Amino acid sequence: MSFCEEIEIEGYETFQTKIKEWEADKSKHPLFILFTGSNGSDGQSWCPDCVQFEGMWETLKKSFTPSEGSLIRVKVGSRDYWKDKNCPFRTDKKTGLSSVPTLVQWGSPKRLSDDAIQNPENVQMLMEDE
């Protein structure tokens, strides 16, 4: 999978806007969403698992088979915001997040998080298995 569009956004409201745009699009190409911790003042995510995943992700993206699809990188906010039990990324039934990083194919049950997302073979299967 290579992406016809790859964007990075921050926050729940912006995420909701992008999802509505995608749902209104008649072509409905595959949409992948990578939820990660936001960057701190040092430019790195507060989430060590996200930092670890990022290096693997950049390498993996180069090996995907060309295809149509979009990727939205969603920064979920500061550590304190994310850890709040009422964080909308956690409480929204459509996102249902319990950890970051999490990679999903929107509109499908395909999802990787926790230890599974750190395995390059799992990520490749999620991205290429249409």
Return the pLDDT at 1: 40
Q: Which residues are catalytic?
A: 47, 50
Residue 28 has pLDDT above 90, yes or no: no
pLDDT band at 67 (very low <50, low <70, confident <90, very high): low
Mean pLDDT, to the nearest integer, of 38-42?
85
pLDDT band at 4 (very low <50, low <70, confident <90, very high): low
**What's the chain's average pLDDT?**
87
pLDDT band at 68 (very low <50, low <70, confident <90, very high): low
Return the pLDDT at 24: 86
Edge-to-edge strand list for the sheet holding 70-75: 5-10, 70-75, 31-36, 102-105, 111-112
Query: Quick one: 5-128 is in which CATH superfamily?
Result: Glutaredoxin (3.40.30.10)
Residue 26 has pLDDT above 70, yes or no: no
Cα–Cα dist 93/82, whole Å: 16
Output the CA angle 90-42-5, nearest 5 degrees.
60
Model confidence, pTM: 0.89
Exposed/middle/buried for residue 74 (C-beta within 10 Å: 0-12, 13-18, 19+): buried
